[in-house]
Amino acid sequence: MRIASWNVNSIRVRMPMVVSWVRRFAPDVLALQETRCADADFPHGELEALGYEVVHHGDGPRNGVAIASRVGLESIEKGFRGPQRGAYREARLVGAVCAGIRIHSVYVPNGRALDDPHYLFKLVWLERLRGHVQLLGGDTPQIAVGDFNVAPADIDIYDPVRWRHRTHASPPEREAVAALVDLGLRDVFRERDPSPGLFTWWNYRSPLVENRGMRIDLALVDEVLAPRVTATEVDRVERATERPSDHAPIWLDVDPGR
């Protein structure tokens, strides 16, 4: 079973790339982030024509998450449970059970700056994600994929010294991600590839060849499924194409068992 994740930075702009990528890589499940459109504007039809069911959770020009699956799409959860107030209404989380695995498509708040209120929102949001995963982690195995906007360790940033006092690298947000790992959600991309330069995002302003990137798109796989992961890849080729997203697609293969 192949599970992919991609922050597309506008589905309206990127839909042709998504369709061609899906044809080439044939994911069973594709989690999308930053679709940046309302539910009514999401182009369901093109993915449905390829055999996918789609759930989109979007609230307008920012955020927006989706899951496309050709192996079933059940028990859909949009956002956190309970009352959604203020910024917590933003469309940053959608989950569904696909072929017996609960997939969470995650778009963690950016944080903006360490002294910005948005940074506190990011930390609380990550803690709420931990509660959400814990709540839904019954008998159904789980994978949380998406744009976590946190580089878990210095090796995940091209210049960690430069980023020491910025968002994406600060100790509190790294600890928030570590708290997810403590639940048994394993960072399988890093486990399988210890090399530096394993990035998933590159700033549009920096030439790609300089590889000034960060690894902020993660797949956190629970302890039942992690030993069954047979492949993890970042598709850097897609990032180098014409008019790309600033994030590369990532994908992993999981042996579904019997």
The per-residue DSSP string of 92-118 comes to -EEEEEETTEEEEEEE------TTSHH
The three-class DSSP label of residue 164 is coil
Question: Please, which residue, 72 or 163, has the CB nearer to DNA?
Answer: 163
Could you tell me the smallest distance in angstroms from the CB atom of residue 10 to DNA?
3
Could you tell me the smallest distance in angstroms from the CB atom of residue 36 to DNA?
5
Active site residue 158: no
Non-local (6+) Cβ contacts of 176 within 8 A are: 123, 126, 127, 130, 150
Question: Please, which residue, 45 or 138, has the CB nearer to DNA?
Answer: 45
Distance CA 153, CA 242 (A): 30
Q: From residue 156, give the alpha-carbon distance in Å to each of 109, 161, 174.
A: 18, 12, 11
Could you tell me the smallest distance in angstroms from the CB atom of residue 79 to DNA?
16
Could you tell me the smallest distance in angstroms from the CB atom of residue 104 to DNA?
17
Active site residue 147: yes
- Phi and psi torsions of 144, nearest 5°: -105, 120
Among the options 28, 52, 107, 156, which is catalytic? 107
Question: Please, which residue, 200 or 232, has the CB nearer to DNA?
Answer: 200
Q: Please, are residues 34 and 10 in contact by the beta-carbon 8 Å criterion?
A: yes
The neighbour count for residue 253, using CB atoms within 10 Å, is: 16
Question: Please, which residue, 33 or 142, has the CB nearer to DNA?
Answer: 33
Question: Please, which residue, 69 or 245, has the CB nearer to DNA?
Answer: 245
Q: Where does this chain bind DNA (CB under 7 A)?
A: 7, 9-10, 12-13, 34, 36, 60-62, 109-110, 112, 118, 147, 149, 158-159, 167-168, 201-206, 212-214, 216, 243, 246-247
Beta strand pairing call for 186-187 and 217-221: antiparallel
Among the options 28, 147, 187, 217, which is catalytic? 147
Q: Please, are residues 201 and 246 in contact by the beta-carbon 8 Å criterion?
A: yes
Could you tell me the smallest distance in angstroms from the CB atom of residue 203 to DNA?
4
Helices (H), the chain: 11-25, 44-48, 117-136, 171-182, 188-192, 236-239
Could you tell me the smallest distance in angstroms from the CB atom of residue 38 to DNA?
8
The three-class DSSP label of residue 66 is strand
Question: Please, which residue, 189 or 202, has the CB nearer to DNA?
Answer: 202
Q: Which residues are catalytic?
A: 107, 147
